[in-house]
Amino acid sequence: MFGRVAIRATRATRAAGPSKVARAAFTAGAKLRNIEIISEKEVSAVSFDGGEAKSSTLKVGDKGEEDPARVVPLTQEMYKKMTPTMQKGSIMGKVVIVTGGARGLGNYMARACIEAGAKAMIIFDANPDLGVESAAELHHATNSKIPVEFFAIDVRDASAIKNAVAAVVQKYGAPDVLINSAGIADSNIPAEKYDHDMWRRLIDINLTGSFLVSQAVGKAMMESKKAGSIVLVASMSGSIVNYPQEQSCYNASKAGVIQFGKSLAAEWAKYNIRVNCISPGYMDTALNNVPALDKQKAIWKSLTPQQRLGAVNDLNGLAVFLASDSSAFMTGSNVIIDGGYSLY
């Protein structure tokens, strides 16, 4: 399945404690060893319509229309032929970490960063099987020219994150770019019926997870005394209330991400670390491709001036722009990219 790609999987253990972080590095001349981590194989979705609850499931590994095309890395030869403005818009030679990069929007932004010149791509994702598969595909898609490393990371696990970032620094140097894309969504749940444990789980992944990864990567940037860019993937739901679904927890989590990003930008400007947010509208990802959402998707499209959902690659250009020196004087911003939905 991986063509001529050779795979090497190693383990990085924490300095203290029994927990381990699964790690897979994709380079030439190595073998794949077993990664002993268990993860969910499917996502459950529940829709409440007309007083009835309708359940459906989506296989996590089912990418549907998200199967990627070939990735064309930006080479030094190509870079030298670019105009100064285009060079500034690249991320040539930078080390990039993408959380939630095994699929969907995070995976596409990872691909865009490689095409914009990233010298190494590191993916953090909670799904080990899909993470290994996606990292191998990405490495192979570059004709094995760009190293891609995967860490099976739950963004709620501060020790695992710290350990993984330390491993990245040891091998590639401090990260230049972090794209925090990991997150989950619960919707169609009235606030008065919201389960407390579900609330805590979503807040922990979407908001606390963004904090923990940003903190670990930010410290690495500070210690290396190098400039850095952190991109937090929030949502238009952090600025507006969605219709018709009820999703108070998700909205609150993304509002928190936006304000967290502004706070980090103010605190870390003195370290030459920029922090900005991307707030997508309704996106046509695999997680939205469930029958239970068909009626709502029709409403979402009708309320969007462009009359469509965002494509999985519609965030790519903005992500690269915020990661690059083209946005060098931009920090603390929240960029809404929603086809005009929030205009009304």
Q: Read off the pLDDT of residues 243-278 as tens digits, 9 standing for 90 and up.
A: 999 999 999 999 999 999 999 999 999 999 999 999
Looking at residue 15, its pLDDT comes to: 37
In 211-317 the beta strands, taken as DSSP E runs, fall at 228-233, 273-280
Instruction: Write the secondary structure of 305-317 as one string of H (helix), E (strand) and C (coil).
Output: CCCCCECCCCCHH
The per-residue pLDDT for 290 is: 81
- Report the pLDDT averaged over residues 209-237: 98
Q: Are the CB atoms for 274 and 229 separated by under 8 Å?
A: yes
pTM of the shown model: 0.83
Cβ–Cβ contacts within 10 Å for residue 134, how many? 24
Reported as a pLDDT band with limits 50, 70 and 90, residue 22 is confident
Most confident of the following: 13-17, 22-26, 35-39, 317-321: 317-321
Active-site amino acid positions: 235, 250, 254
DSSP one-letter code for 185:
-
Question: Quick one: pLDDT at residue 222?
Answer: 98
Query: pLDDT confidence of 23, banded at 50, 70, 90?
Result: confident
Q: Can you give the pLDDT at residue 59?
A: 54
Whole-number Å distance between alpha carbons of 239 and 251: 8
Q: CA 225, 230, 111 angle in degrees (round to 5)?
A: 115
State the pLDDT at residue 19. 52
DSSP 18: S
Structure confidence at residue 193 (pLDDT) = 95
Question: What pLDDT is recorded for position 36?
Answer: 36
pLDDT at res. 286: 80
How does residue 206 score in pLDDT terms, banded at 50, 70 and 90? very high
Question: So what's the pLDDT on residue 2?
Answer: 35
At residue 156, does pLDDT exceed 80? yes
pLDDT at 31 over 50: no
Cα separation, 35 vs 298, whole angstroms: 41
What is the structure's pLDDT at 56? 54
Q: What's the CA gap between 306 and 300, in Å, rounded?
A: 11
Is the pLDDT confidence value at 189 over 50? yes
Helix ranges (H only) for the chain are 76-80, 84-88, 104-115, 128-141, 158-172, 196-203, 209-224, 248-268, 294-302, 316-323
- Residue-wise pLDDT for 274-296, tens only, equals 999 999 999 998 878 888 888 99
pLDDT band at 51 (very low <50, low <70, confident <90, very high): low
Domains by residue range for the chain, with CATH: 8-12+20-27+70-343 (3.40.50.720)
Residue 238 DSSP code? G
Reported as a pLDDT band with limits 50, 70 and 90, residue 52 is: low
pLDDT band of residue 34 (cuts 50, 70, 90) is very low
> Is 90 exceeded by the pLDDT of residue 149?
yes
pLDDT at 55: 59
pLDDT at 29 over 90: no
Q: How confident is the model at residue 79 (pLDDT cuts 50, 70, 90)?
A: very high
User: What value does the mean pLDDT take over residues 317-340?
Assistant: 98
Q: What is the mean pLDDT of residues 30-39?
A: 37
Question: Does position 64 have pLDDT exceeding 70, yes or no?
Answer: no
State pLDDT tens for residues 163-183.
999 999 999 999 999 999 999
